[in-house]
Amino acid sequence: MRGHVVCFGELLLRLAAPARQLLLQSPLLEVCTGGAEANVAVSLAHLGHRAEMVGAVAANGLGDSATGELRRHGVGTSSMQTAPGRMGLYFLTPGAMQRPSEVVYDRADSAFARSGGGVHDWAALLAGADWLHVSGVSPALGQAAADGTLRAVRAARQAGVKVSFDGNFRPKLWEAWQGDAAGILRQVMAEADLLFASHRDIEVVLGKPFRQASYEERFQAGARAAFDAFPHLRRMAATHRVQRSVDHHQLSALDAWRDGSSQVTPAYELAAIVDRIGTGDAFAAGVLHGEIAGMAAADGLHFGLAAACLKHSIAGDFNLVGVDEVAAFLSEKSFDVRR
């Protein structure tokens, strides 16, 4: 089944130090296009769905190039606008061994932040859509972007379009403008049907700590609190990451439903990681694929985890795998070359 998903957010350029060097250790930077919501859109397009990106970019060659990169991956961009301001950037110092990766944001006064993501006819944009996907990164960029995000999710609720929200709490972005993270994120979550978040996101929004003994217990307690606070919320899902080193993680996933049911996946060991940026977005896209395809809850969650695991093997922000590759990950035990 082919779904129609609209994604709203800022399209970014990522500039990364090459070969795991420190930032500007050499005068070279590797550039790729990314952004949380764009990552989801690209992944959904590769999974066979109609994905549309909505937002605003700088009216220059950088904005044109980033938008063109989305089109190259099959994402619709007819609703992308240009606006005064610069292109949002982030700089990545890739980690190695026990040295973690580090991100430096350079997004202040971007075209998206200044315009609030543009002025859009949401009733027209959402006509025929199955889902609207947004993330907590957008409202963290400033009041205009927060207002734009709220307009989008409220329009979706009014139109009967389901809302998917990835918490993506970014304290550095909120601190830059002293934004009311808890208050604004609470308003966005109030419109969500599907929430990608851990108990830590719920702690930020509700101001309530969860101190249960295990991660799963804390997640389930956070989910119950979220269901109590947000009546539209139907499902909450998250990954659980154990970091053995920068290059070796263990990843699993779990979810909770309003009816009290829940699932926990097997854990996968991910050694020799190529790039972990965008893996949460790959998980969100995979879970959305499961929702659209009508998969059983456990199967859809496992599909999302498999998509996230595969993203660790792909450089750049985008997950470029299709349904067949995810299915192969879930079924194959051999690493022989496919011929």
Q: Could you tell me the residue ranges of all domains in the chain?
A: 4-236
Give the pLDDT confidence of 113-156 residue by residue, as tens digits.
999 999 999 999 999 999 999 999 999 999 999 999 999 999 99
Name the more confident of 315 and 339. 315
SS3 14: strand
Report the pLDDT value the prediction gives residue 97, as an integer from 0 to 100: 87
Report the pLDDT value the prediction gives residue 332, as an integer from 0 to 100: 74
Report the pLDDT value the prediction gives residue 337, as an integer from 0 to 100: 47
Mean pLDDT score, 87-106: 93
Are the beta carbons of 185 and 204 closer than 8 angstroms?
Answer: yes
**What sign does the dihedral 234-146-119-55 (CA atoms) show?**
negative
Give the pLDDT confidence of 101-115 residue by residue, as tens digits.
999 999 999 999 999
How much of the chain, in percent, has pLDDT values that exceed 70?
A: 98
Please state whether beta strands 262-264 and 248-257 pair in parallel, antiparallel, or not at all (unpaired): antiparallel
Give the pLDDT confidence of 29-77 residue by residue, as tens digits.
999 999 999 999 999 999 999 999 999 999 999 999 999 999 999 999 9
pLDDT over threshold 50, residue 202: yes
Report the pLDDT value the prediction gives residue 336, as an integer from 0 to 100: 56
How much of the chain, in percent, has pLDDT values that exceed 90?
A: 96
Q: Which residues carry out catalysis? A: 281
Report the pLDDT value the prediction gives residue 301, as an integer from 0 to 100: 98
Mean pLDDT score, 231-239: 98
SS3 66: helix
Closest listed residue to residue 295, CA positions, set 260, 330, 271? 330
The CA R_g of the chain, rounded to the nearest whole Å, is 19
Mean pLDDT score, 158-164: 98
Report the pLDDT value the prediction gives residue 12, as an integer from 0 to 100: 97
pLDDT over threshold 90, residue 162: yes
Output phi, psi for 331, to 5 deg: -115, -25
Helix boundaries (H) for 207-255: 215-229
Mean pLDDT score, 268-289: 96
Which contiguous run of DSSP H or E holds residue 196? Answer: strand 194-196
Give the pLDDT confidence of 284-297 residue by residue, as tens digits.
999 999 999 999 99
- Correct CATH for 4-236 of 3.40.1190.20, 1.10.3720.10, 3.30.390.10, 3.50.50.60: 3.40.1190.20
Please state whether beta strands 194-196 and 162-166 pair in parallel, antiparallel, or not at all (unpaired): parallel
How far apart CA 322 and CA 335 sit, in angstroms, is: 18
How far apart CA 89 and CA 327 sit, in angstroms, is: 34
Question: What tokens appear for 201 in the block?
Answer: 């996101």
